[in-house]
Chains A and B, each alone.
Chain A
Amino acid sequence: MNLNFDKQPIDILQALANWGLIFGALLCIGLVIALILSVAINPKKGVSRFFENLGEGLRDLFGMSLKRLGAITNLTIKEAVRRKALLVFVVFAVLFMFGGWFLSNTNNRAELQLSVYVSFVLTAIGWLIFPVALILACWGIPEDIRLRSLHTVVTKPVKRSEIVLGRILGFIGVGTIVVGIMSVLGYVWILRQVPEKVQSRLVARVPVYGSLNFRDREGQDSEAGVNTGDINPYRSYIEGASKARAKWSFEGLSPSVLQTDPDSGEAALLVENSFQAFRTHKGVIDEVLHGQYTLINPETNLRVQLPQFPIYEFRQNLTWIPQKLAYYNEDTKKTETKDLFDDLVSDGKLMVEARCVDVGQFLGMARPDLFLRLPDRPFASSFFKSVFGIWLMMVLIVVLGVTASTFVKGPVATILLFTLILVGTGFNQFMDDVLSGEVRGAGLVESGIRILNHGNPIVEKPESLEESMAVQNVDQVFTGMLWGVSHIIPNFNMFSFKAYTASGFDVPMKVAVLPALLMVIGFFIPCLMLGYFSLKLRELEAK
């Protein structure tokens, strides 16, 4: 099983800068609106009230008491438990008692079967925890206000910040219990369901990726290979027996990437590929295509060609490259021995060039289709990182839900958040594409004019539009706002790591886990502030 997407690690500094920009902008807008409202409500003392509240807010947010937080957190957990929120386990149990019947399909290849089980467990945990988190978080504070039990609490020396944070932590606690128990049960279930012969496939592969360049059939550098007519441009193809090459450059390699080759017992580098074949003719029936690697030292340009290897599609194609390499040197016409790290890797850099051997056939590849492998980690590592992703999303739902519920009543908060999740799951990709210019179209105003003129986006811009700078400027403002909005609506897809786990990879920290974690923190801070000020500045009277 292999990945069919290519995610780059995020640039943490850039992410922080974006966050700072949006947070700062919203904070300023919020403060200005608050000041205006404050003056409008009370012209005489508005300004001083505003600053008093601001000062108190800072004190309340930074001076929370752990004991009071603990008390409210504890209360929240007790409430959920005694109100039988944990009945969700019953649903979970039922799902798993019978799930096995529907999921086992002996016709499937073993590894596919395995991936079905893993996906099922992770999906089930997600689908069960999210509604629980959503409803608990959205109804907690509004119910507390409706039943007026909050009156007895806020007339104690409790800061409103402690109420908001305590509630958030409490619901996170409940969610953690649920996710924790379900994931352990799910893990055990997978281990028991998976057939004996593929147990060894339950691992977390740790890939090291490089960057990919192509050379076309004439040997010229090019950005991509050939498109064989696939609508999805993810993989690009190189032609067999031509000068076309795919070239991966790796960086930061050290001898720690070496493992022991189980056949020879020697230290070796493990390279895996998941190239796809595209045949323009049948070729030899029952014969697979062949590829060939050449290792290149990017500094000295030393080239070492390795033996050809068969490419089995949809399977792991493993090549062990021994550290002590014996190869046939075309120039000296002699067999020579080179050391992988002394001769081929310089400054931690190494290039691997791949070619297709068969005439008239093509090999397709994307960046993640060739990677070096570090020693495998246990399956649990990958599985529980995926669970951590689910946990993070649960946390985000709780944070957003509690915040929404300080403004509006339970049902409204639930619907709001539900909509946000839908939009954040589906719409985000679209907006990213609009912003990166991948979706063809124009700005809001320009599109409007085109619609009125019955034009479509492919048609050249009418003269009048071309000249009208005003339209373009206004559209730029809209695009800027859209950029902001696309960052405010959380991308909930970010939290799903199951593609990695289900295809037998470890979940990469920098590419997957860290961005998700940062996202949650990024929302947590402004939400806490919003929720606090909302509770502080409103009357806690049920209307």
Chain B
Amino acid sequence: MSENAVIEIRNLTKIYRDFWGRPKVRAVNSLSLDVKPGEVFGLLGPNGSGKTTTIKMLLGLLFPSEGEIRILGKPATDVSKNEYIGYLPEESYLYRFLNAEETLDFYGRLFDMTTAERKQRTDELIKMVGLDKARRRQLKEYSKGMTRRIGLAQALINNPKLVLLDEPTSGLDPIGTREMKDLIIKLKEEGKTVVMCSHLLADVQDVCDRIAILYNGELKQLGKVDELLASQDKTQIVSSLLSDEAVNEIKAVITKHNGTVEEVTNPTTSLEELFLQTVAESQARPGQRFVAESEKAANTTTVD
């Protein structure tokens, strides 16, 4: 629990209630995690596992039922933190009667930017997201991917320190997806912190430093991507242009050293395996929650 974490979440619980205050859904349950400066953090989880709810609580759009959040050192409801945050919602909730330029200009004004700054930034961002040809068209005429792109431009208008992306690649074409990943890596290089939700595990694997897997609102896995994926008792040898002869020789060497050859295949997207396995385990043993090593010492019970 580092002092300078960009996001600190402690025991965060969200219960959606109906009009009469009766609980409907427990969308997030006792979630605790930290996001460190400069990292790309991935929130994974099946549909309805509480990713969007968590992000909305981080932004103060929803109020936690329990628990605490500090984001950039401030409470989630503090408006002034937004100065340094960029947010791309799950769907681009923008004003559909504005065109791309007007949209960016509007959000620029909300940051109290000067006219010259807004003009320059608008121009830059529109070019960056590849909407130069559609800059004067109203958003209601945009396709899904185009809306996504303008949504992203909007999130970066203030050159934020912390970027929250809710399913950034949804609706994007392969080129767009590639560009989005490059952009996230570029943001990281610029020293920004990125938090993203996604289902596209390959994308997450490519760009994320650390990930958390949520299931039914509970944290099931948390850690560095490579550490989570490294199976301690297995060794994977990846080589290219290996002849069958060479493969047989290697097999022989392994058998000689009392190892078992389990399979010889091309490497798979192993995050997918981890994800599926976590979900399967969670279904088999509900209630088991991931607890950070440091917390384990203080709190030995992990089961509710």
Contacts and interface: CB of A to CB of B under 8 A. Distances in A.
Interface of A: 60, 65, 67-68, 70-71, 74-75, 78-79, 82-83, 147-160, 539-541, 543
B62 A71 contact: no
A78 B110 contact: no
Contact of B61 (A70, A75, A540): A540
Given A75-B106, A151-B89, 11 more contacts: A78-B98, A79-B95, A82-B138, A150-B93, A151-B61, A154-B60, A155-B59, A155-B61, A156-B82, A157-B112, A158-B79
Contacts of A540: 61
B186 interface: no
Contacts of A152: 87, 89, 92-94, 107, 151, 154
B226 interface: no
Contacts of A65: 112
A68 B91 CA distance: 24
B97 A83 contact: yes
Contact of A155 (B19, B85, B98, B106): B85
Contact of A68 (B61, B62, B110): B110
Contacts of A154: 60-61
12 contacts: A67-B112, A74-B106, A78-B97, A148-B93, A149-B93, A151-B93, A152-B87, A155-B60, A156-B82, A156-B107, A156-B111, A157-B83
A65 B92 CA distance: 26
B251 interface: no
B80 interface: yes
Contacts of B87: 152, 155
A60 B77 CA distance: 13
Contacts of B111: 156-157
Nearest to B57: A539
A156 B79 CA distance: 8
Given A71-B110, A156-B111, A158-B79, A82 B61 contact: no
Contacts of B82: 155-158
Interface string B60-85: 11110000000000000001101101
B127 interface: no
Nearest to B83: A157
Interface in B86-114: 87, 89, 91-95, 97-98, 102, 106-107, 109-112
Contact of A541 (B61, B92, B138, B158): B61
A377 B154 CA distance: 54
Interface string B133-175: 0000010000000000001001000100000000000000000
Interface string B33-55: 00000000000000000000000
A67 B59 CA distance: 23
B93 A71 contact: no
B94 A70 contact: no
Nearest to B85: A155
A59 B285 CA distance: 50
A160 B82 CA distance: 13
Nearest to A79: B97
A82 B89 CA distance: 25
Contacts of B61: 151, 154-155, 539-541
Nearest to B102: A78
B300 to A, nearest CB: 27
A153 B89 contact: no
Contacts of B85: 155
Contacts of B60: 154-155
Contacts of A543: 19
B235 to A, nearest CB: 46
Contacts of A74: 106
A82 B110 contact: no
Given A148-B89, A155-B85, A541 B62 contact: yes
Given A151-B61, A539-B61, A541-B62, A158 B110 contact: yes
A49 to B, nearest CB: 10
A147 B106 contact: no
Nearest to B19: A543
B79 A71 contact: no
A46 B83 CA distance: 28
A149 to B, nearest CB: 5
A71 B109 contact: yes
Contacts of B91: 148
Contacts of A68: 109-110, 112
Contacts of B93: 147-152
Nearest to A541: B62
A540 B56 CA distance: 10
Contacts of A541: 56, 61-62
A341 to B, nearest CB: 61
B72 to A, nearest CB: 12
Nearest to B75: A52
B79 A82 contact: no
Nearest to B140: A82
A70 B109 CA distance: 9
Given A78-B97, A539-B63, A157 B79 contact: yes
A147 B139 CA distance: 14
Contacts of B89: 148, 151-152
Given A539-B63, A540-B61, A541-B61, A156 B110 contact: yes
Nearest to A153: B110
Given A82-B97, A543-B19, A157 B80 contact: yes
Contacts of B107: 152, 156
B12 to A, nearest CB: 15
Contacts of A150: 93
6 A-B pairs with least C-beta separation: A71-B109, A148-B93, A156-B110, A82-B97, A157-B82, A155-B87
Interface core residue of B56, B79, B102, B111 (most chain A CB under 10 Å): B79
Contacts of B56: 151, 541
Nearest to A149: B93
Nearest to A82: B97
A65 B102 CA distance: 20
A541 B17 CA distance: 12
Nearest to A160: B79
A14 to B, nearest CB: 40
B78 to A, nearest CB: 9
Nearest to B63: A539
A45 to B, nearest CB: 11
Interface core residue of B60, B82, B106 (most chain A CB under 10 Å): B106
A543 B21 CA distance: 12
Nearest to B154: A152
A359 B43 CA distance: 100
A148 B151 CA distance: 13
A53 to B, nearest CB: 9
B80 to A, nearest CB: 6
Contacts of B63: 539
A165 to B, nearest CB: 14
A311 B63 CA distance: 75
Contacts of B94: 149, 152
Interface string B227-263: 0000000000000000000000000000000000000
A149 B56 CA distance: 14
Nearest to B80: A157
A83 B151 CA distance: 22
Contacts of A156: 82, 107, 110-111, 158
Contacts of A153: 110
A148 B91 CA distance: 9
A541 B63 CA distance: 10
Contacts of A155: 59-61, 82, 85, 87
Contacts of A79: 95, 97
